[in-house]
Structures are given as structure tokens and as C-alpha cells.
Amino acid sequence: MTRMLRTAFTAAALSATAAAKAEAQSGKGLFVGIQYAGASVNVQEAAEDLEFGNGFGVHAGVGLSERWSVLANFDRSLLTGNSADVRLTQYDALLRLHLIGAASPLKLFVTGGATARSANAGRDFESIAPTGGGGVQLFLSSGLAVHGTALWTFGNLTRANQLSGNTIDQQFTSTGTRVQAGASLYLFGR
């Protein structure tokens, strides 16, 4: 968890440093981007949690107005478990609302939606669960923005019975935590 906080702090510091060069942008239009993704999963009722791991991600979306955006996101991280490393893959469908900064280069936002996720390390888990979070976005030019985001995914991870040899599926309550630091290219900048 300490690494996640350091990563988030570093992303925020880099964003603040670049603020002097930033330009106001409406946030409307198509955008694509990449991001660093760090993740961990707290699994209740299971023998082990999945400790913080690093990864990457890509995203694409459309800014519907100065306040609303729709976003599709993909992340993959390698997490550390007690017995083996675990590859965690997450697909998000998110709605983003800019709370502050509609007319400025620095925009604060909240986001929410659904996440499909799977974890594999000789044992497969999968689920679709609600996701929420928030972050900050800084436009460096009319077509380029950097962002820092924190997301939490709640719900059950399900171990499929055909994979674990049991006759019924097993469900484990889990909370996934992610931090992202990345950049977005607005294809039709102001």
C-alpha cells in the first residue's frame, strides 16, 4: 500500500509541475491513451491476499461535454501471492464526471461503472463488479492530457468449479485497489 501512495504522490507532483505549461481544454471529443497501473486485491475468506503489483493499461473514450466522458479501460498487473504470482486482468466501462475545472487545464473528477476481471496463476478466478473512484487530469496542450486516478472494485471473485475440481462454484468477497498514472491524446484537439 505504501508503494501505491508513493506512486500516486509522484504522479500528482509531476502534474503540478507541468501546470505552468498547461492549457485549458474542454475535454470534448475522442481520446486514447496509455497508463501505468498498480493494483492489489484484498480477498476475504481466502487464505491469501494479492499484494501490490505493477502493470500497464490502455484506454479510449469520448468526452460528451465539458463535464461528462465515457471511457473504456484495460489494465493488466502482476500481483504477488503467497504461493505464486498472479496475473490480474481488468476491463472497465466507466462514466467520468468533472467536478471542478471545466474551463481550466486542471480538472478534478469522479468516476464509476463496471469492471470485468480475472486472475490466473494455476487457479482461475473471474467476476464482474462495480467500480468507483476519482482523480485529476491536467491538459498540457489542447490535445494532450496527463492523469492520475484511484479506483476501487468491490464484489465477488468466483472460482469456476471445472477449474478447481469442485462440484460448485466458490465465491470470495474481494476489494480491488488500483492507481493509474498516464496520458491521453485527444484526437481532435481544440
The architecture in CATH of the region 2-186 reads Beta Barrel (2.40)
Q: Where are the beta strands (DSSP E) in 44-143?
A: 50-63, 68-80, 85-100, 106-120, 124-139
Identify which has the larger pLDDT, 5 or 91.
91
Nearest to 190 by CA among 91, 105, 70, 86: 105
Residues of the chain above pLDDT 90, percent:
42
Average pLDDT, the chain: 80
Identify whether the C-beta of residue 129 lies closer than 8 Å to the C-beta of residue 114: yes
Q: Which of 122, 155, 143, 157 is nearest to 24 (CA)?
A: 143
Which cell is 49 given?
491476499
| Sign of the four-CA dihedral 152, 93, 11, 109 | negative
| Separation of alpha carbons 65 and 44, rounded Å | 40
pTM of the model: 0.78
Mean pLDDT for the stretch of residues 141-150: 93
Domain locations in the chain as residue ranges? 2-186
Q: How confident is the model at residue 136 (pLDDT cuts 50, 70, 90)?
A: very high
Q: Are 186 and 145 in contact (CB under 8 A)?
A: yes
What does the pLDDT look like over 17-75, one tens digit per residue? 444 344 446 678 899 999 999 998 887 665 566 778 899 999 999 999 888 999 999 99
